[in-house]
Structure 1
Amino acid sequence: MRVEIWSDIACPWCYVGKARFEKGLAGFAHRDQVEVVHRSFELDPNRAKGDTEAVVDMLALKYGRTRDEALAMEENVASNARAEGLGYRTEGRDHGSTFDIHRLLHLARARGRQGELLDLAYRANFAEERSVFDSEVLLRLAVEAGLDETEARAVLADESAYADEVRADEREAAELGATGVPFFVFDRRYGLSGGQPAELFTQALEQAWQGRDDTPADPAASRSADTAPACDRDGSCEVPQH
């Protein structure tokens, strides 16, 4: 059974949602028979490469808040991340184009190292003092993930490399009705949006497993009605208040 996850490295709920999904998968009896594929979704596809800004400043401008209010928004997300055992820095992070990251993730998938690179990129972006919008940082992450340095450098230097694959993922997300991420599709039968609780992911896996011999359902039509925090195409991220 295959689970496809559309996400963006700039999305905090994708970071949290991945951890919750993995906990849900750990509670699924047939977890060893599940293939997980990560697909591309840019929250800010029109942002130029090299155009970066501080996350807190970006949030303050986008939502019309003071810097202190934007920082409080970040702290709310951080509390959710930390509850999942994830590191999260509320200041000192950048926001920028994630196109190069997605292209490298496609290379990593082709080389069987996609999960490793995604974990490293999430950790660098949300928990460490490393900007994933810097090509040299991306290259070092690729090597840490087990990719060949020369091959990874060539992909970063050629903006057409894996570009078609990124765009194809994004078109498919639109066809499936995804307007935000994370977006999970279980065996092309059921869709689930947002950083849901781990137990809901386990239930979705069980439902998809039990129905795997049936006629595939429409993932867009069968999306869960359960709401969960997510990030939309305009970059807006729902932040639960405590």
Structure 2
Amino acid sequence: MRVEIWSDLVCPWCYIGITRFERALADFEHAADVEVVHRSFELDPSRAAGATERVTDMLTAKYGPRGATMDGEVAELARGEGLGYRTDREVGSTLDAHRLLHFAREHGVQHHLAKRLFTAHFAEGASLFTTEALVTLAKEAGLDPVEARGVLEDPQAYLDAVRADQGEASRLGATGVPFFVIERKYGVSGAQPVETFREALATAWTDSRAQDRQSR
């Protein structure tokens, strides 16, 4: 059974939502038969490569005075989930990180890299916005750093795959992330409670097995 997750690496709700999904999956008796695929979704595709700003400045510019406190509120929620969360981090273009995730999928470490990127950004306040930073994180996730650098230094590498993911999200009706799609039949939007993910996994599994029996 396949679960596809559309997310962005600088999205705090994705960080929280994927953690909750993982907890549900860990309790799922058929977890070994579930394939998790990360799909690309840029929250701000207009961001220029290399241009960064503090997250508090970005939120204040977007939401006014309340923006200065919004990330702190999400931080408390994340910490309640047992997650590290720094509010002094910067945001920038995630296009290269998404391209790298497609490369990682071909080498069987996509989920591991996604988790490393989320943790680096939110828990450690590390950059995801330079080639050097991404090469280091790719190596930590088990990728060959020379090959990872080659991908990052070629602006066309996996670009079509990123754009295809984003177009597919639009066709599926996703207006935000995280967005979870199970077997291309069941959708779960947002950082839902663990129990919601448990129920979705169980329902999708039961239905897929019933369909298998009918097709025999």
TM interval, short-chain normalised? over 0.9
Aligned to 2:78: 81
Q: How does 1:14-25 map to 2 (within 5 A)?
A: 14-25=14-25
Gaps of 5+ in 1: 216-242
| Residues 1:146 and 2:137 aligned together | no
Question: Separation in 2 of the partners of 1:202 and 1:6?
Answer: 18
Contact 1:113–1:146 (CA<8 Å) still a contact in 2? yes
Aligned to 2:10: 10
Q: How does 1:1-242 map to 2 (within 5 A)?
A: 1-65=1-65, 69-91=66-88, 93-213=89-209
Please give the TM-score of this superposition, normalised by the length of structure 1.
0.85
Please give the TM-score of this superposition, normalised by the length of structure 2.
0.95
Query: What percent identity do the matched residue pairs reach?
Result: 59
Contact 2:17–2:190 (CA<8 Å) still a contact in 1? yes
Contact 1:71–1:90 (CA<8 Å) still a contact in 2? no
Question: Separation in 2 of the partners of 1:155 and 1:31?
Answer: 31
Deviation at 1:71, TM superposition (A): 3.7
Aligned residues: 212
Deviation at 1:214, TM superposition (A): 5.9
Question: Separation in 2 of the partners of 1:79 and 1:16?
Answer: 11
Question: Separation in 1 of the partners of 2:54 and 2:20?
Answer: 27
- Structure 2 counterpart of 1:16, which letter? I
- What's the Cα RMSD here? 1.4
Deviation at 1:33, TM superposition (A): 1.0
Aligned to 1:221: none
Question: Separation in 2 of the partners of 1:117 and 1:4?
Answer: 15
Aligned to 1:226: none
Deviation at 1:131, TM superposition (A): 1.0
Question: Separation in 2 of the partners of 1:187 and 1:214?
Answer: 13
Contact 2:93–2:129 (CA<8 Å) still a contact in 1? yes
- Structure 2 counterpart of 1:75, which letter? G
Gaps of 5+ in 2: 212-216
Contact 2:102–2:110 (CA<8 Å) still a contact in 1? yes
- Structure 2 counterpart of 1:126, which letter? F
Deviation string, structure 1 residues 91-123 (Cα, Å, up to 9, x no partner): 2x1111100000000010100111111111111
Q: Secondary structure at the match of 1:212?
A: helix
**Greater fraction helix:** 2
